[in-house]
Amino acid sequence: MSLILGLDGGGTKTLAALARRDGTVIALVRGEGLDPIAAPDWRERLRALINRLGHQPRDLVAAVLGLPFHGETLEHSTEQERVAADLLPAGAVVVDNDVRIAFDGALAGKAGALILAGTGSMAWASLNGPGDPHLRAGGWGDIFGDEGSAYWIGRESLAQAAREFDGRATAGRFSKRLLEAHGIRPDELISWCYALANRRSAIADLARGVAALGAEGDPTAIEILHRAGDELAETLLAAWRKAAGDRPMRWSYAGGVTTNLQVLTRIEARVGCAPEPCRLPPVGGALLRAAQAARWTITEDWLRQIDRTLHASPAIREVAIREVEQ
């Protein structure tokens, strides 16, 4: 039996799937994030996840792994490709950036731009014809980039809390309620932050509290979410201009932050047109790329079968629920 493997490895979670030639997903497993900076044990995590799929190497005709930081730093990219080649049959595996496979899934091979906002943020765009380049904007990391991401929202909420505690901003309910929800006392804020084992993930997790306060109508939370939408729209527009100039824009979105209605409607207002519905989730984009690498025939029925059987899995439903909660 010929199989393809697709993997979506993000900063906080990873999904890996096996599919048959007819587009039926026969296995889907969820694991921890594969960020090579935040998770020094990412190699072991990747190996364990692929082993859980239970495939026979002789059955695998193509695999596409979307991994964070791939193509962004030579050191990480080289190591990711080496590890993937050790784990999977020679010549069968392609490693690419996780945002690229999210783009492939959302637009299913058509021209457009994708804004991805999860723990980090990046936009990806291409006219997607033969020879058309794939171009990106954003994705510069949490120190001086990732605007509009969950990490950025968490960092901005902490900055707002500090201003309120200092008296540099009018104290409202926002900071008190946000920190209470995460079990942090104001006088412990600095020690809490600098004692975090995984600072990027923990600060990104604060975005859930900001989203909850925004849904209740808290004006400070809404202002932060609107600024996140503005930043993401700016990144999306920049990527599209690089890829398509002044052509009419076609776009979609992925990642937990973009499931927030206040963020998404702000992006739409700034961009000036409604988004396309996401055709496949990122792990589906990896499967699509793998099927293309295997030279399988891709039809509308094949895409529908991939999407249907992916969403029948409890693993992907759990991810969808977690993203909506953000």
- Residue 65's H or E segment, with its range, is strand 60-67
CB count within 10 Å of CB 121 equals 30
Per-residue model confidence (pLDDT) at position 176:
83
Per-residue model confidence (pLDDT) at position 33:
87
Block means of pLDDT (10 residues each) for the chain, 326 residues, are 89 89 93 85 92 80 92 89 88 90 92 92 90 90 88 93 81 82 83 84 90 92 96 97 92 92 96 93 95 94 94 63 39
Domains and CATH numbers, the chain: 3-108+279-325 (3.30.420.40), 111-277 (3.30.420.40)
Single-letter residue type at 97: N
∠289-293-294 over CA atoms, to 5°?
120
Angle between helices 199-215 and 219-244 (to 10 degrees): 110
**Please, what's the b/e burial string for 144-182 (b: 16 or more CB within 10 A of its CB; e: otherwise)?**
ebbbbbbbbbbbbbbebbeebbeeebeeeebbebbbeee
Per-residue model confidence (pLDDT) at position 315:
61
Measure the CA dihedral 105/107/111/114, to 10°. Answer: -80
Per-residue model confidence (pLDDT) at position 57:
66
Q: Where are the alpha helices (DSSP H) in the chain?
A: 42-53, 74-87, 98-107, 150-166, 174-181, 189-194, 199-215, 219-244, 261-271, 282-293, 300-311, 314-325
